[in-house]
């Protein structure tokens, strides 16, 4: 029964790992992996001498730290607020509404964002025009995107995390809250003393999972960095991350060796982050750690 799944994992996940040697070669698709020229760490030397590596690494870490803090923090607050709604129908309706953006692709989000930020007919610039304010060139100024990208991420993903926390809250015994009410605890005190501590295992698991994908925008958030800025080169300083850099390198130069070197660097740093996150979580709660 497990054989088809094991074969799928072997073929799709483990066999491609042999391609890591491309990072150490002057890879030629015609010659293949085994006949391409071996150049050792040349690709890595060129990579770390480039200013781009520091920029894309900073952007990748900067955004994902904000995503983790805002995404999990705000989702927890929203889940607690929804739990306080006495009407089950309304609570379910709110969950569905906030989950809807998560079901949309980043391509759809790109057009929605453009309808707000367009220079000529954007909703925001049209509103500013009513008050005689000059339109803002949203797609020409990188500094704006330090705020736009986190806002877009939170808008799209907050519903998903909120539903997870809401499920966790539903599993908390009502006896805790009844006892707290008898002791005169307010709703805020109940949330601080009961709800949040009981959700610590779920929160730590989400933190560990999110920390593991810090260096991988391709897992669900590729379009956030690629589609939303509409491939504007002016915005690369604020929107270019490791995954988009690899894609553009392959697209423009077809440099497989360099792209593979970046990918290997990405994997190694991501692995270290997972180990570090697991170690910290293990110190706090041994049962919530992976190992």
Q: What element of type H or E holds 124?
A: helix 123-130
Contact 58, 64 (CB under 8 A): no
Instruction: Tell me the CATH number at 149.
Output: 1.10.3720.10
Q: Is residue 229 part of a domain?
A: yes
53 within some domain: no
What is the reported pLDDT for 220?
54
Domain count, the chain: 1
**Residue 260: helix, strand or coil by DSSP?**
helix
In angstroms, the Cα distances linking 15 to 8, 9, 19, 57, 246 are: 10, 9, 8, 27, 21
Q: What whole-number distance in Å separates Cα of residue 73 and Cα of residue 67? A: 10
Q: Is residue 117 part of a domain?
A: yes
- Asked whether residue 67 is domain-assigned, the answer is no
Reference 56, options 197, 271, 220, 258; nearest CA is 258
CA–CA distance, 214 with 272 (Å, rounded to integer): 11
pLDDT, residue 164, reads 92
Three-state secondary-structure class, residue 26: strand
Please name the residue that has the structure tokens 């909703």: 123
Q: Quick check: 71 and 214 in contact, CB under 8 A?
A: no
Quote the pLDDT of residue 246.
Answer: 79
**pLDDT recorded at residue 70:** 92
Domain that holds residue 104: 74-203+219-238
Cα–Cα distance measured from residue 161 to residue 133, given in angstroms and rounded to the nearest whole number? 38
pTM score, whole prediction? 0.84
Q: Does some domain include residue 280? A: no
Assigned domain for 129 exists: yes
Is residue 274 domain-resident?
no
Question: 256 — phi, psi (to 5°)?
Answer: -65, -40
Q: What is the pLDDT along the chain (291 residues), one digit of tens a residue?
A: 678 888 888 887 777 777 788 888 888 888 888 888 888 888 888 878 877 888 888 998 899 889 999 999 999 999 999 988 877 888 888 888 999 999 998 889 999 999 999 888 889 999 988 888 888 999 999 999 999 999 999 999 999 999 999 989 988 888 888 898 888 888 889 999 999 999 988 888 888 878 777 776 545 577 889 889 988 889 998 998 888 887 887 777 777 888 788 888 888 887 888 888 888 878 777 776 777
Any domain includes 58: no
């Amino acid at each position: 029964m497990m054989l088809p799944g094991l074969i799928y994992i072997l073929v799709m996940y483990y066999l491609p790992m042999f391609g890591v040697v491309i990072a150490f070669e002057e890879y030629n698709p015609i010659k293949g992996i085994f006949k391409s020229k071996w150049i050792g760490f040349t690709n890595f030397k060129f990579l770390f001498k480039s200013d781009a590596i520091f920029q894309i690494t900073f952007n990748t870490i900067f955004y994902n730290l904000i995503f983790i803090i805002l995404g999990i923090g705000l989702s927890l607050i929203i889940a607690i607020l929804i739990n306080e709604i006495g009407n089950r129908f309304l609570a379910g309706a709110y969950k569905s509404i906030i989950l809807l953006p998560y079901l949309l692709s980043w391509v759809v989000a790109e057009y929605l964002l453009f309808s707000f930020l367009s220079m000529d007919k954007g909703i925001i610039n049209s509103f500013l025009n009513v008050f005689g304010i000059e339109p803002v060139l949203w797609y020409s100024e990188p500094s704006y995107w330090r705020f736009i990208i986190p806002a877009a991420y939170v808008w799209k993903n907050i519903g998903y995390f909120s539903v997870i926390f809401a499920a966790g809250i539903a599993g908390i015994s009502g006896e805790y809250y009844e006892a707290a009410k008898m002791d005169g605890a307010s709703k805020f005190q109940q949330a601080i003393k009961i709800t949040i501590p009981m959700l610590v295992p779920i929160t730590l698991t989400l933190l560990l999972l999110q920390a593991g994908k810090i260096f991988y925008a391709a897992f669900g958030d590729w379009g956030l960095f690629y589609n939303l800025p509409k491939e504007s080169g002016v915005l690369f300083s604020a929107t270019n991350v490791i995954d988009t850099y690899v894609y553009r390198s392959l697209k423009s130069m077809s440099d497989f060796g360099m792209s593979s070197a970046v990918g290997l660097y990405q994997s190694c740093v991501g692995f270290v982050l997972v180990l570090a996150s697991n170690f910290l979580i293990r110190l706090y709660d041994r049962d919530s750690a992976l190992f």
